[in-house]
Structure 1
């Protein structure tokens, strides 16, 4: 579906709160993103105190990390968050690095040129022009498809229990004109990295 020429997808998105777009990225674009992520993963040097498993639960973060700062202050950085059971009691990997990660966040769109190019691509800009709402967009690296999720739709990502990695690239877009970003949101712009415009 070409979202720039089919009003039906706009109606579907507004009615259902999400939209699946097949083949938004080409196989070549997916391969390039996957190859770059493999390089980042292979080169990651994670300090011992950061070798903690990822959790979106604040109390669990406190229990595992002593505080939630590593996650809370990651909005303008590229940091690594790990699945459960990937380290031994000394903090050493017990699985291959490429299978250890839950996510890498949260500033790939700012510091990694390939991810920045996708985030600010004409394809994404076109979607935003026609959807005109706050949404999250997740690209699935295996087929180049994307899922748009409205910002008011409650959603979650369950643990990946399969043998295959779940290659996705997720970012969030919001309307900035005549809006105020909630100071209660954990993700805040910083002097080092203000929220970038989609059209830059």
Structure 2
């Protein structure tokens, strides 16, 4: 693989080097104020459209032991569906707050921002030969109950062989230490291999498949997490192997964000039928670039 080459269309050479070194990169003001407000307004409109009479009250969690795996989740790849905060449902299985304050995220039908700037970023990074987009989400991070997201990397949940996930995370509201801004362990993508993958289980539901036996898993790289506060319109690029997390939102403010992921397409990587998210005839994975990148730079453990 080659080093940074060619003329950059959006990113600077220093930004590309920073992404490769740290495993993430914040791009201030990636979206205009008008674009950001339009996405936020659409997100709130989707919340208004939630019909509780037709909803199975599916909760969302990223924990290893009880990650969501019901049919409502597994068939959401080409639909708009709503996943609730764990603390929004009482012991009787009923919402304990208004619906617009109960939703953890909306997903996963793909609505990507396939504009010129996004394509330029994908090309400048030289991360993929021919990237495809496979999911999108609005993450609400509700006041007081917005769930903690523990340390993880995205390639565990969107696995290819070799790993190739790349996240595009856009703040629609101000993201602060108080309302659960993202934190990253810089450089962990260079030391932390993908040790397991989130899969559909043969008997139904979801679980984790071991890729590296526990006794062979490298020690946690250690180091200090860096919190990335964001303003509305900022975008964070997230390497699929970098460790990141967010704390519970205990503030009185929401923390809306829009995010989607890209992966490498065949023959450069394999995305198999074990993955929880599957393309459908109605919504296949869509290519991002008009023409493939002639070269890529591998940056991983």
TM-score, normalization: structure 2? Answer: 0.56
Check whether the contact 1:136–1:170 (CA below 8 A) recurs between aligned residues: yes
**Match for 1:76 among 75, 78, 83?**
78
Q: Looking at CA atoms only, which structure, 1 or 2, has the larger radius of gyration? A: 2
Check whether the contact 1:13–1:19 (CA below 8 A) recurs between aligned residues: yes
CA distance in 2, matches of 1:123, 1:50: 38
CA distance in 2, matches of 1:185, 1:196: 17
Distance 1:45 1:191, change over 3 A: same
CA distance in 2, matches of 1:60, 1:95: 23
- Partner of residue 112, structure 1: none
Higher strand share: 2
- Partner of residue 104, structure 1: 106
- Partner of residue 113, structure 1: none
**Match for 2:39 among 33, 41, 66?**
33
CA distance in 1, matches of 2:253, 2:234: 18
Check whether the contact 2:58–2:72 (CA below 8 A) recurs between aligned residues: no
- Partner of residue 193, structure 1: 283
- Partner of residue 238, structure 2: 149
- Partner of residue 146, structure 2: none
- Partner of residue 176, structure 1: 265
SS in 2 for 1:34: helix
Aligned-residue offset at 1:33: 0.7
- Partner of residue 213, structure 2: none
CA distance in 1, matches of 2:86, 2:252: 14
Unaligned runs of 5+ residues in structure 2 are 1-7, 128-164, 174-231, 291-301
Distance 1:165 1:149, change over 3 A: same
- Partner of residue 136, structure 1: 167
SS in 1 for 2:260: strand
- Partner of residue 163, structure 1: 252
Distance 1:49 1:29, change over 3 A: closer
SS in 2 for 1:4: coil
Unaligned runs of 5+ residues in structure 1 are 110-115
Check whether the contact 2:168–2:235 (CA below 8 A) recurs between aligned residues: yes
Higher helix share: 1
- Partner of residue 56, structure 1: 62
SS in 1 for 2:245: coil
Write out per-residue CA displacement over residues 12-52 of structure 1, whole angstroms, 9 at most, x where no aligned residue: 10111000100000111111111111111112113466213
CA distance in 2, matches of 1:137, 1:191: 24
CA distance in 2, matches of 1:162, 1:31: 21
TM-score, normalization: structure 1? Answer: 0.82
Distance 1:189 1:124, change over 3 A: same
